[in-house]
Structure 1
């Protein structure tokens, strides 16, 4: 089970970085990107323009 969770987390990372992909996390959770942005308390464009944002 732990290996599966680690695989899921790894699948949401931005290629070549250690940060998570907001788009990947939204897809994994089955959420529209707009809803993920609202849950994170950021503007919906932040997912695209500032994916490195600590709030994400």
Structure 2
């Protein structure tokens, strides 16, 4: 649980820094979230396939 809170805190800090420095996000929020979802699915997919093959 601690790692999730740390990740959230860092994300909030980066968001505040982007706002203070008037920097645009490198990707639109929806695109970024879909990219993260793809990474999570890809990370979980290989172990699931391996378990199904055994």
Q: TM-score, normalised by structure 1?
A: 0.25
Could you say which structure has the larger radius of gyration?
A: 2
Question: Greater RCO between the two (CA within 8 Å, min separation 6)?
Answer: 1
Q: TM-score, normalised by structure 2?
A: 0.25
Q: Which is helix-richer, 1 or 2?
A: 2
